[in-house]
Amino acid sequence: MAEFSGYVLAMRQLATLLVTFSRDERGATAIEYGFIAALMSAATIAIIRQIGLNVSDLTGGVMGGLK
């Protein structure tokens, strides 16, 4: 019977740990910041790429006019 009560105690401790862990939002906040940083990086790369293509077209037009 002592083994059974030890098992119940361990299960209660595990349940308490899981409830505490599920209520902890620190990890969720870090993940949200990671997603925001990834989206900002993707947007920045897309904008810089588009600017680069526009500058390339502009310099190509200028070089063609100089020939």
Tokens of 28: 């969720």
Name the residue ranges covered by the structural domains of the chain. 1-66
Confidence band (pLDDT; 50, 70, 90) for 3? low
State the DSSP code for 1.
Answer: -
Q: Quote the CA–CA distance of 10 and 12 in Å, as a whole number.
A: 5
C-alpha to C-alpha distance for 67 and 64, rounded to whole angstroms: 5
Indicate if the pLDDT at residue 4 is higher than 70: no
User: Is a pLDDT exceeding 60 seen at residue 1?
Assistant: no
Q: Which two tokens stand for residue 64?
A: 């063609």
Query: CA 42, 45, 46 angle in degrees (round to 5)?
Result: 85
Query: Per residue in 9-58, pLDDT tens?
Result: 888 888 888 888 778 777 678 888 889 999 999 999 999 999 988 888 88
